[in-house]
Amino acid sequence: MPFLELSLRCRRSEQPRYEHALEDVGALAVTMLDADAETPDERAILEPGVGETPLWDELSLSALFPHDADALLLLAALEAFDPALDWSGAGFRRVEDEDWERAWMDQYVPLRFGARTFIVPWNQDLPDEARAGDAAVVRLDPGLAFGSGTHPTTSLCLQWLDALAGEGALAGATVLDFGCGSGILALAALKLGAARAVGIDNDPQALIATRDNAERNGVGEALAVFEPGEAPRETCPVVVANILASALDALAPELAARTAPGGRIALSGILDGQQHDLLARFGEWFDALTVAQEGDWIRIDGVRR
């Protein structure tokens, strides 16, 4: 199936703002290239690795949208979201999904988060340290319902889950993954000892990807997925929401209501500078709120009052 690709150039300092805007208007995936590379081999696709930021001064951003997206409406939405950015150089073209996925497969490598959590693509062998008896290994392919672990927002959540497992807080627990995407966080929680996981996402493609990934990782019976309006009204001792700051703000009462008293929550998808308002917002329901940072991205975690 073809997709609509938006491409534009930007400075490294502006990259987080452009990426945030593209994701807010529905980009399925965003990648970065060295805009000034002279040969195709030098134009390596990059999604910044753990703790990394782009090295190049000038970047070429590419974002995928559904094939039937209206380019003019997308530009209007982007300009409304962040009018200070220059969207005049944006170009559009149709691309085939197999070309995009092949590029991701070539760049996707095993990653470790915390003490024992590993995300390993299906086309890669397990690293030696992931063969230990207590290793929590999630096998994934890069796909359109994005969530491979390489982005700082996902990395921060995986590190948090790994730390919770080290405290024994996941053992036998039910974990809610709100905005589950590929299901990577729910799968990691199950591999780390959670008894059950619930994934919620408003994108039907994300729900399909989460179900498929759960089956392929042997935890299909322990994970249930729902669209937001269909999810049962239950409270969970562990809640993680890796979405955007605007959505976290709007969903704060619901996320609080879904977190059991004394339960733990992690909020990610927050750009540096956006955490202050969210700390005040979630402080109405949560104590011990703390901030972790990786690159330009923030995670907030706390305990339900």
Residues annotated within the binding site for S-adenosyl-L-methionine are 154, 179, 201, 242
Residue 61 sits at φ, ψ, to 5 deg, of -90, 140
What are the residues facing 46 on neighbouring strands?
A: 32
Of 164, 174, 113, nearest to 266 by C-alpha is 164
CA distances 56 to 49, 86, 90, 103, Å, are 14, 19, 19, 19
- C-alpha distances out from residue 290 to 50, 254, 266, Å: 20, 20, 10
Query: Which three-class secondary structure state does DSSP give residue 210?
Result: helix
CA distance 58 to 100: 22
Binding residues: 154, 179, 201, 242
Helices (H), 136-260: 152-167, 184-191, 204-216, 245-257
CA–CA separation, 176 and 165 (whole Å): 15
C-alpha to C-alpha distances, 256 to 222, 261, 293, nearest whole angstrom? 23, 9, 22
